[in-house]
Amino acid sequence: MYTPVFWQDRIVEHPRRVRVTDLGNGIKEWAPDPGEISQKGTQQSSTNFGNMDFGNVENALLGAYLAMNVRLAHNYIDDLRGQIITSTLKNTLKFPATNAEVTIPLPQMVNNTEYQVEAEIVEADGPVEHVEVYGKALNAFKASYLGSAKNVTIKFHVKGGLY
């Protein structure tokens, strides 16, 4: 785990003062002459800079981990939200026979066939006994109903299968 280094400045009595020594032949040597040192300051060493780099790497990894968790949470919410499809099924045969079978395409293709489909009857011009959902595929499923109604409007709630 990253241990922060609390950097301290070097504080001296005269920060910009220099001592000039004449070496002869017009050559002069300039050397810092700071006076008394009030605070030593933090060493600029490989240990301190390496520790700082380690902290940067640790923060980047933590940020990536949190971003991955947020993405997984969004995927889970998308799976729960699902898709809603409305379709009308028509039967042209006399009761008890039925030919009201329809293939319903999914607006968004799913990644597996482990999705759940719940059927809600919105409108019917007669009694509907049972709505059957079968033949699930990645891009569609089939639905039919049993009953004497000629026209039935059904709202399908598709949940799961996206991730």
- Mean pLDDT by runs of 10 across the 163 residues of the chain is 82 91 92 90 83 88 96 86 90 85 91 91 92 94 92 93 80
Q: What's the pLDDT at 1?
A: 73
Domains and CATH numbers, the chain: 11-79 (no CATH), 82-159 (2.60.40)
Length of the chain measured in residues: 163
pTM (2 decimals)? 0.57
Q: What's the pLDDT at 47?
A: 82
Q: What's the pLDDT at 134?
A: 94
Contacts of 122 (CB under 8 A, 6+ apart): 86, 153, 154, 155
**Tokens 């329809």, located at residue:** 102
Q: What is the DSSP code (8-state) at residue 33? A: -
In whole angstroms, what is the distance from residue 59 CA to residue 1 CA?
10
pLDDT in tens, 33-50: 988 988 998 888 888 787
79 with 111: CB under 8 angstroms? no
> Which residue from 94, 102, 101 is spatially nearest to 149, judged by alpha carbons?
94
